[in-house]
């Protein structure tokens, strides 16, 4: 279990547009490997995103407490967002590092505290909330 903070540039607006995605995550682990207890991540990517729709590809680079690394690529596809609130289950693949070749499911709920920003010129620039990495 953990949390993610995701930024959009330009911010999410009523109409989907090309945006860059950045962010970070922090996770605690339940693992068959007792040495693996936690991880932090950086997130980047881009695509067409808005307050009601996302179609993007992102890369999450996780550094585990053991010093090992995992790189996951997510092809987000059609993620419905309601007023900038994203309730998602994204699927990805580990392309490098520990767990290479494995599938990743990442359910999460990232929200904005000000959904009315969707109608503003700047849009929703930041969403944050709980997230999980499930490595299958």
Mean pLDDT, rounded, of the chain: 88
- Element containing residue 38 per DSSP (H, E): strand 38-49
Q: Which pLDDT does position 88 carry in this prediction?
A: 66
Query: What's the rounded Cα separation, in Å, for the pair 25 and 3?
Result: 6
CA distances from 37 to 26, 72, 126, 133 (A): 11, 18, 28, 13
Cis peptide leading into residue 113 (ω within 30°): no
pTM attached to this predicted model: 0.87
Please write the tens of the pLDDT for every residue from 89-105: 788 999 999 999 999 98
Question: Which segments of the chain have a pLDDT < 70?
Answer: 77-88, 111, 113
């Amino acid at each position: 279990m953990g949390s993610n903070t995701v930024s959009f540039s330009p911010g999410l607006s009523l109409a989907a547009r090309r945006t860059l995605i950045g962010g970070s995550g922090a996770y605690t682990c339940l693992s068959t490997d007792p040495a693996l207890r936690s991880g932090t991540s950086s997130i980047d990517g881009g695509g067409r995103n808005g307050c009601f729709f996302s179609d993007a590809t992102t890369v999450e680079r996780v550094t585990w407490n053991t010093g090992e690394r995992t790189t996951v690529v997510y092809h987000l596809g059609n993620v419905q967002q309601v007023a900038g609130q994203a309730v998602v289950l994204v699927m990805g693949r580990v392309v490098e590092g520990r767990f290479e070749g494995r599938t990743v499911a990442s359910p999460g709920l990232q929200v904005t505290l000000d959904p009315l920003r969707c109608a503003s010129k700047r849009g929703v620039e930041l969403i944050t909330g709980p997230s999980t990495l499930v490595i299958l």
